[in-house]
Amino acid sequence: MDDRFLHEHRRDPSPGFARSLRARLRQVEDLDAEPKGRWNPTLVATFALAVVALSFALPSVRATAQNLLDLFRVRTFAPVAFDPARLDKLKALAPKEGDSAANMMFANVDVLEKPEAPQTFSSLASAASAAGIPGREITHLPRKLKVTGITVTGRGRTRFQVDTQKLGAMLEMLDIRDVQVPTELNGQSFTIAMPAAIRQHITGGGQQVEFVQATSPEMQLPPGTDMARLGEIGLRVLGMSSTEARRMARSIDWTNTLVVPVPLDATSFREVTIHGQKGLLVANRGESTGRNGRKRNGNLLLWSEDGRLYALAGDVRDMELIEMAESVR
Amino acid sequence: MAIGEAVLSRLWAWNPANEADWDALYAQQLPRVLNYFRYRVGDGAVAEDLTSLTFEKAWIARNRYRRDLASFATWLMTIARNVAVDHYRSRRVHAPLAVAEHVASSDSPERDAVLRSDLVRLSALLGALPEREREIIALKYGGERTNREIAKQMNLSESNVGTILHRTVQGLRAGFEEGGL
């Protein structure tokens, strides 16, 4: 097929047009670089946690007479793929710029215990003492990797008061119209306590890994919470279909499972075994090159052991991360 | 929030979208988007306006794109197609490549005149194409998309795209030759 006559009429952009458009796009990039209003990792994490929290916030249909609050502790993980575009959609729907997802769901978000600024320590022993947990050590570090820094992030505790009207409005904004938010939960509170955590920063040979260890976060819930039902709503918020969310919500043990939202455009995940315990390996297969032209991969490994949570995250190969995890003593 | 932040902030931090070479992406994609619009809607100023609009929309939401360059190009072209649809909704334009003064200059005035003449003829032929055929031509020769990519973007089979392209190019070529190719 002779189609040269079609190719011949392409032309390059004029230099003036290309320059002026690039300058305008740089202004967009500069705006993004300002922290205010950015949908930053902390906000994403807050959102994810709020979704998890939401899973436990709605009313009970499970008959119970107990006055004590149910307690949630993480022992296992459930990866849930979600579309990051939904986060953008939520961001766009925020009443005020920079509003967190939590503010869109809850009547009040009270910080009962504000975490102290991260502290730096020169040894694992002193960090462990500050964090109040027995610090464990990675005994096998591949290649040139070395521990280059140890910090402890402080404990925090936050209370969320449910506003069913806000929650319903948010679901509607996300076009989730087949879920009813029970009104009897309105005004009920639950509390999430995030423990102090030790973070070891491991770098070398152009690679970096972070090793995090902490006791399980705890969540105090209104008595008799129907976790499967609430989990189903949380999964819908993450973008899961009605049928899939119901099926998964009913298969998860919500008393000890941490839902881990995994961006579906970025990653693959699989179950692994660390010290005989089930763990979750999330692999980000970076197929693009960075500014330096180097291919980028990233892996995240989560596991729970002896009532504590461990996370290893870094741009090393998945098998290396598993070997590091297995060497934790 | 230690564990939760650690989990997701690490994932987020490795999002190659955060470390993309925007200058390189821009340089690579700008000619494709601009030429897509030139084959699609014509007029140099309009094509440049729509190209600007496409890039501005993409840049505002750029952290959403899938991580490899190929998918970035697809995502960008999807935005461009939506911009073209919006443009047609607001104003019917049927003169792709119509502005002869935007023809790149050659070494000689005679050659420039031939190019302008060819461009005017091609513009008229493209303007007479049905919507679907014109879109495929614009994606193929303007946007430099492969048949497979076009098929995916337009919900057609690859063989169907090939057939349509073959038939359309033959028709355009015949019309072009009649006009003095």
User: For residue A76, is pLDDT > 80?
Assistant: no
Please report which helix (H) or strand (E) contains residue A109, including its range.
Answer: strand A106-113
Question: In the structure, what pLDDT confidence band is assigned to residue A40 with cuts at 50, 70 and 90?
Answer: very low
| Choice between A276 and A35, residue whose per-residue pLDDT is larger | A276
Chain A residues with CB under 8 Å of B59 CB are 25, 28-29
Partner A, chain B 53-92, Cβ-Cβ below 8 Å: 55-56, 59-61, 63-64, 66-69
Question: In the structure, what pLDDT confidence band is assigned to residue A159 with cuts at 50, 70 and 90?
Answer: confident
- The string of pLDDT tens digits covering residues A118-145 is 788 999 999 999 999 899 999 999 878 9
Question: In the structure, what pLDDT confidence band is assigned to residue A154 with cuts at 50, 70 and 90?
Answer: confident
Chain A residues with CB under 8 Å of B8 CB are 41, 44-45, 48, 261
Q: How far apart are CA B49 and CA B31, in angstroms?
A: 14
Please report which helix (H) or strand (E) contains residue A271, including its range.
Answer: strand A267-274
Question: In the structure, what pLDDT confidence band is assigned to residue A220 with cuts at 50, 70 and 90?
Answer: confident
- Nearest Cα to Cα of residue A170 among A162, B4, A21: A162
Q: Is the minimum CB–CB distance between B124 and chain A shorter than 8 Å? A: no
Which range in A215-219, A306-310, B161-165 is most confidently predicted, on average pLDDT?
B161-165
| pLDDT cut 90: percent of chain A above it | 10
Q: How far apart are CA B168 and CA B152, in angstroms?
A: 19
Query: Are A249 and A80 a contacting pair, CB within 8 Å?
Result: no
User: For residue B171, is pLDDT > 50?
Assistant: yes
- Alpha helix positions (H), A198-291: 227-237, 242-251
Q: How far apart are CA A230 and CA A224, in angstroms?
A: 12
Tell me what ipTM this predicted complex has.
0.75
Residue in chain A nearest B69 by alpha carbon: A288
pTM above 0.80, yes or no: no
Query: Are A200 and A124 a contacting pair, CB within 8 Å?
Result: yes
Q: Is the minimum CB–CB distance between B100 and chain A shorter than 8 Å? A: no
User: For residue A31, is pLDDT > 70?
Assistant: no
Residue in chain A nearest B20 by alpha carbon: A290
- Alpha helix positions (H), A139-183: 164-173
Tokens of B46: 């309009």
Mean pLDDT to the nearest integer, A224-250: 80
Question: In the structure, what pLDDT confidence band is assigned to residue B165 with cuts at 50, 70 and 90?
Answer: very high
CB pairs under 8 A between A and B: 178
Give pLDDT, residue A125.
93
Question: In the structure, what pLDDT confidence band is assigned to residue A66 with cuts at 50, 70 and 90?
Answer: very low
- The string of pLDDT tens digits covering residues A85-124 is 776 666 666 665 555 556 677 778 788 887 777 788 999 9
Sheet holding A207-215, edge to edge: A119-121, A146-153, A197-204, A207-215, A308-314, A298-305, A277-284, A267-274
Give pLDDT, residue A228.
76
Mean pLDDT to the nearest integer, A274-280: 87
Mean pLDDT score across all residues of chain A: 73
Q: Which amino acid is at B122?
A: L
Give pLDDT, residue B81.
92
User: For residue B21, is pLDDT > 70?
Assistant: no
Instruction: Count CB neighbours of A270 within 10 A.
Output: 11
Residue B59 is nearest to which of A6, A25, A84, comparing CB atoms? A25
Q: Do A212 and B2 touch (CB under 8 A)?
A: yes
Mean pLDDT to the nearest integer, A253-262: 73
| pLDDT cut 90: percent of chain B above it | 26
Q: Do B7 and A260 touch (CB under 8 A)?
A: yes
Question: In the structure, what pLDDT confidence band is assigned to residue B4 with cuts at 50, 70 and 90?
Answer: very low
Q: Which amino acid is at A145?
A: L
Give pLDDT, residue A95.
60
- Nearest Cα to Cα of residue B31 among B48, B49, B7: B48
- Nearest Cα to Cα of residue A217 among A195, A191, A196, A189: A195
Q: How far apart are CA A181 and CA A171, in angstroms?
A: 9
Q: Is residue A220 helix, strand or coil?
A: strand
